[in-house]
Chains A and B, each alone.
Chain A
Amino acid sequence: MGPMLELRDLTVSFRTKRGTLPAVDGVSFTLAPGEIVGIVGESGCGKSTLCTAITGLLPSNAQVGGEILFHGDDLLQKSAREMRSLRGRDITMVLQNPMTALDPVFSVGGQLREILRYNADMPQAERQERALQMLQRVHIPEARRRLENYPHQMSGGMKQRVLTAMATSLNPTLLLADEPTTALDVTIQEQILRLLAEIRDSLGTGIILVTHDLGVVRRLCDRVVIMYAGRAVETGRTEEIFAAPQHPYTEALLASIPRIGDDRDRLTAIQGQIPDLRHLPPGCVFAPRCPKMMPRCQETYPPLFENTNGWARCWQHAEEEAVL
């Protein structure tokens, strides 16, 4: 039996008035049930587009290539209707900003029940019960009263829990979390992360966690995929990547995290800027900013080089065996 989710060479470009924008280019990775995979990168590296592609909600000007295999079925070949029935039930997603992700004119309980109504065959009484259970499962105090609350009566952290409850109400196989903690206070962040871990443990859900916060990755993710300018540049088990990054970008990312006890008095930033996706240089996309750049890097696009942990897309591993 193959992995629950497998992306093969996924490519997403957008046709715009000013040219074609390759938001995601040839990304591949897998996800097993009960695994948490982090997708890390700076803003604009394509991680959100990746999620949108998986959920089948790309806009009409998007061109997609490659495969997204969910339990062996290619999602990209499915009809809109089929995708809709998967969404909310087997594939769910939690959004970044809890303040705006809930409909302000409907009660929280009402929105929960609605999801149950349209995704499952449940009589009304059971929906009521289930909604209550859902709130309790995400540890919302006084859940029965909270069912009748409106979103504006809840704090950000509580709303994020509600969103998580909605996303897990039907025990999904795959949960996508797009920066679930970015908009929250640090103390609340920890609670949400713990909640996600619980979900993984109790439901066996596979979670894709999109973030730019390496601390979150370290805390929660089993494996991680590092993305830059729409491409996946490194992947592997979290601990090993943190200990020994194989790609200069990953190295730079890790180096830029400030540590308590450091005696540097300036934060290390990565030199240069993210390239314009419409006018990418030939060869490695990171080359212009890479401290270890070689002439070869600017000329030819590096393939994936496998290692014990996973792989890295960098020419410095050329002596080792190439995969693609």
Chain B
Amino acid sequence: MFTYIMRRLGQTIVTALFVSVIVFSLARLTGDPTILIVPTEATEEDIQFFRQQLGLDRPLYAQYWSFLTNVLQGDMGISFRYREPALDLVLSRLPATLELAVISMLLATLIAVPIGVLAAVKRGSMIDTGTRWFATIGQSTPTFWLGLMLILVFSVDLGLFPTSGRGTIWHLVLPAITLGWYSAAAIARLTRSSMLEVMESDFVKFERLSGLPERVIVLRHALRNAAIPIITYMALQFGVLLSGAVVTERVFAWPGIGQTVVAAISMRDYPVIQAAVMVTAILFLLLNLLVDLLYSWLDPRIRY
């Protein structure tokens, strides 16, 4: 068990290093970023000077090394646009995005898991068919369009919710539904198939033979066994959620990381872009690591 944790930790660290390499290369893909940083009237000498100042005349691996050491100390450069440390900027916007993501995930799970369980238990019924359709359609809906449609119907036509911004619970409703929609569909589908598989197991049959009530079998035994792949999947979904958050934030003018990055792109504000990608990737890796460790609590086969 201990070796398992160590191994996973090692993998996470190596993966994070590779992420840093990719992030580092973003700014250097089209060659020399100096051109983008210096003012337009700069002469050739000025450019050379800047290049030296920023250390861009050194070999690539040396540049990467200072990049890495800086990152580990929390320095991801200064935003071109805002003249602030990029990392601080990103981290200050993170809570808003996390708020949206977590609420959406909670909402999605609270709806999707019961539906999935019901669909599996009442196989072939209307609930089952309805769930499968919901799952397929839900995973085919473009998030940003859903957001627009919800705004159109509920904000513009019906005036029930504010169209944008963050502040009250009312502000959360439409963005959470928009963002959670896809995940709800995906989780419902997985819950259903995971439950179906578990319900076919020998131990479920034996529990029935032993006279246990169906309710206990489904909710206590089947669900517990089915939960393991579902929870893993939810951790993966978090990455999808962060992605979806970018467009959702744009549609609802939600002040999170997504908005910041979109603004940064047009300005080629690499420090901010790099910081955003780095932070979200590390977050994702940590979450998955956590879930893997949670595994051992859930599944005794790994614990002992």
Contacts and interface: CB of A to CB of B under 8 A. Distances in A.
B206 interface: yes
Contacts of B216: 114, 118
Contacts of A270: none
Interface stretch (B5-13, B32-40, B98-106, B294-302): B294-302
B1 interface: no
A104 B202 contact: no
Interface residues of A, number: 30
Given A104-B225, A105-B225, A88 B210 contact: yes
Given A104-B301, A105-B224, A152-B301, A88 B203 contact: no
Interface in A169-210: none
A92 B209 contact: yes
Nearest to A106: B221
B58 interface: no
Contacts of B213: 84, 118
Contacts of B210: 87-88, 92, 115, 119, 166-167
A288 to B, nearest CB: 34
Nearest to B206: A101
Contacts of B304: 150, 152-153
A103 B213 CA distance: 15
A247 interface: no
A55 B208 CA distance: 10
A274 interface: no
Interface in A72-116: 84-89, 92-93, 95, 97, 100-107, 114-115
A103 B221 contact: yes
A114 B212 CA distance: 8
A182 to B, nearest CB: 13
B202 A150 contact: no
Interface residues of B, number: 21
Contacts of A89: 211
Give the secondary structure class of B's interface: helix
A163 interface: yes
B28 interface: no
B302 to A, nearest CB: 10
Given A95-B206, A100-B202, A103-B225, A118 B211 contact: yes
B301 A150 contact: yes
A57 interface: yes
B301 A103 contact: no
Contacts of B298: 105
B201 interface: yes
Contacts of B211: 84-89, 115, 118-119
B207 interface: yes
Contacts of B206: 93, 95, 101-102, 163, 166
A100 B221 CA distance: 14
Contacts of B212: 88, 114-115, 118
Given A101-B205, A101-B206, A166-B206, 5 more contacts: A87-B208, A87-B210, A88-B209, A95-B209, A104-B299
Interface of B: 201-203, 205-213, 216, 221, 224-225, 298-301, 304
Interface of A: 55, 57, 84-89, 92-93, 95, 97, 100-107, 114-115, 118-119, 150, 152-153, 163, 166-167
6 contacts: A57-B208, A88-B210, A101-B205, A105-B225, A114-B212, A166-B206
